[in-house]
Structure 1
Amino acid sequence: MHQYLDVNQSGAGEPIRLHYRSDGDRTHPCLVLSNSLGTDLHMWHAQVARLASGFYIVRYDTRGHGRSTSGSEPCAIEDLGRDVIALLDHLEIAQAAFCGISMGGLTGQWLGYQHPQRFTQLVLANTAARIGSSEAWLARAKQVREAGMEAVADGAAGRWFSPEFIAREGSMVARMVHTLRSQDANAYATCCEALAQADLRSTAAQITVPTLVIAGESDPVTTVADGRWLQQQIAAARLATVPASHLSNIEAEQAFTALLREFLLD
């Protein structure tokens, strides 16, 4: 069932309409799932299928993605984090585990040091305290605003998945790329600009929530070295790797989900 929450923007303008779905029994521990740039909540299908029997799973479309709106104001990683807190408040969930991938992992890092009391565990997948460079993100934002999503979508498969996975699971890859190609260019650019500003290297050591960092062994975007840096900074963190590229929860879904389940039940 599609559900929506209106979240006020930090500046003027219409509220953000946040789209979310819930699966499982509300009496079970809550797990929040946060998607990567250019995807939507459907990227977590395999994890929901395997974990909903033991967890109350809340997955949402990051603002500007899927069925969530982006609003008229610029946004920052702080806004993406506050959306999660607003969602937990709306659902009257005092504490939850959080799993975010790539951009969702940056959101998780912000939540981990700003609202540690709200989270039992963090899973930071295929992410870094600083992803890419400000110049590169601003250039991508400019590109999609001027020319649309085609150029970004054309190269997405190679950034997201290994060549072996692309050859083996072509139809799934095509669906993911179609989702990206259908993204609103301005909303995508707004999130690129948020990533241009997002630098959490100075606050990583302040995270006290038990944390699992998952890295893809062939990820060219956020490397194993990036994951190891996070693990070394966060006192209560462990690092695991899976045989995958950037969207490891899809490419290595069984290994990823097994790690997630083991960590959450530990």
Structure 2
Amino acid sequence: MIAHHTLTGPEDAPVLVLGNALGTTTELWNDFSLPFRLLRFDHRGHGGSAPVPGPCEIEDLARDVVELLDHLGMRQVYYCGVSLGGMVGMWLAAHTDRISRLALVSTTPWLPDKKRLDDRIALLRSRGMEPAADAIVERWFTPGCAPDVVARFRAGLLEVDLPSYLACAEAVRRMDLRPDLSKIDVPTVVIAAAQDHATPTELVRHTAEELPDSELYVVGDAAHLAVVEAPRTISVILDDHFGNDRAWCRSTSRALPNRR
């Protein structure tokens, strides 16, 4: 199965693959305008991608990306992933040579506290997506996020294939990519959101500190889906990272304002 995808931007520009958070689709990146060839894709059972029966691991989701790159004849690319998309990016950068530069947004290589995810999985299994949707979306955005944006992403969440969502959520629960961090030898920018309660700043900071070649940014007025609430700020960070050939030093922290 080839994942549903879109490819836009200058044909002669470097390819930047954009990986989505669990429960979201390629719409996550609608407000981004970057000088790259943007390859957006949907995870299994999300958006236009067909469900794949049975359980999966982060490795399986990453191999979906490799299959897509092979299908498109792309040898090596830039990669930016949010949450689940970032977990996929970490696996790709650690286990393949397909990623030349990496960006990780609101993500972690493991969950130190699994109770919240366990509760969500139990609710989804017993009652379906609708009763869980409000709690999921509430953690995606700050209270000040525009109601129409929240409503749009909630509607998109309800369209995700439930067994696929559960399979991906359980893959996240089982995941432990911490041993892989030292294998990621490509320049990496790590972005945290100050109001992200799903992936707190200190957890993201710890990830950056364990990477051999990384730089950490903290975006102020945004929550888990910071790429939706602060697209201009994050676009500047990504443009600088992927468009910059200078040597990158070990992780430093830089707090940026939210500029929409």
Structure 1 and Structure 2 fold alike (TM over 0.5): yes
Who is 1:83 aligned against? 64
Post-superposition shift, 1:132? 5.5
**Which string of whole-angstrom CA distances, capped at 9 and with x for unpartnered residues, describes residues 152-172 of structure 1?**
21113320111122xxx1111
Per the TM alignment, residue 229 of structure 1 is displaced from its structure 2 partner at its CA by 0.8
- Deviation of the 1:225 alpha carbon: 0.8
Q: Distance in 1 between matches of 2:203 and 2:229?
A: 19
Q: Deviations over 1:101-146 (max 9, x none)?
A: 001111111111101x211110000001113544543442332132
- Please give the alpha-carbon distance, in whole angstroms, between the structure 2 residues aligned to 1:135 and 1:181: 23
CA deviation profile, 1:158-188 (whole Å, cap 9, x unmatched): 20111122xxx11111100111122222111
Residue 253 of structure 1, aligned match among 209, 219, 231: 231
Aligned residues: 243
CA displacement, residues 26-82 of structure 1 (integer Å, 9 cap, x when unaligned): 3210000000011101111111xx11xx21110000112111122112110000110
* 1:25 to partner: Cα distance: 2.5
Q: Are 1:32 and 2:12 counterparts?
A: no
In structure 1, the gaps of 5 or more residues are 1-5, 7-16
State whether residues 190 and 216 of structure 2, in contact with CA within 8 Å, keep that contact through their aligned partners in structure 1: yes
Among all aligned residue pairs of Structure 1 and Structure 2, give the percentage whose two residues are the same amino acid. Answer: 36
Matched position secondary structure for 1:215 = strand
Query: Match for 1:156 among 116, 131, 136?
Result: 136
Q: 2:161 aligned with 1:184, yes or no?
A: yes
Deviation at 1:227, TM superposition (A): 1.5
Give the partner amino acid of 1:258.
V
SS in 1 for 2:27: helix
Contact 1:133–1:196 under 8 Å retained in 2: no
Supply the distance in 2 between the matched residues of 1:93 and 1:28 (Cα, whole angstroms). Answer: 13
**Under a length normalisation based on structure 1, what TM-score does the superposition of the two structures give?**
0.87
Judge conservation of contact 1:135–1:196 (CA < 8 Å) in 2. Answer: no
Structure showing the higher helix proportion among its residues: 1
* 2:46 paired residue number: 65
Cα 1:40–1:132 shift into 2, 3 Å? farther
Cα shift at 1:22: 0.5
Tell me the distance in 2 between the aligned counterparts of 1:179 and 1:60. 15
- Tell me whether 133-142 or 79-88 shows the greater mean CA deviation: 133-142
- Checking the alignment, whether the CA contact within 8 Å between 1:144 and 1:186 is kept in structure 2 is no
Q: Residues 47-62 of structure 1: matches in 2 within 5 Å?
A: 47=32, 50-51=33-34, 54-62=35-43
1:234 aligns with 2:211: yes
Structure 1 67/133 Cα, relative in aligned 2: closer, same or farther at 3 Å?
farther
**Contact 1:137–1:195, Cα closer than 8 Å, also in 2:** no
Equivalent in the alignment of 1:127: 107
CA distance in 2, matches of 1:182, 1:162: 23
> 3-state DSSP class of the match of 1:68?
coil
**Alignment RMSD (CA, Å):** 1.4
TM-score (norm 2): 0.89
Unaligned 5+ segments in structure 2 are 245-260
Contact 2:53-2:164 within 8 A present in 1 as well = no
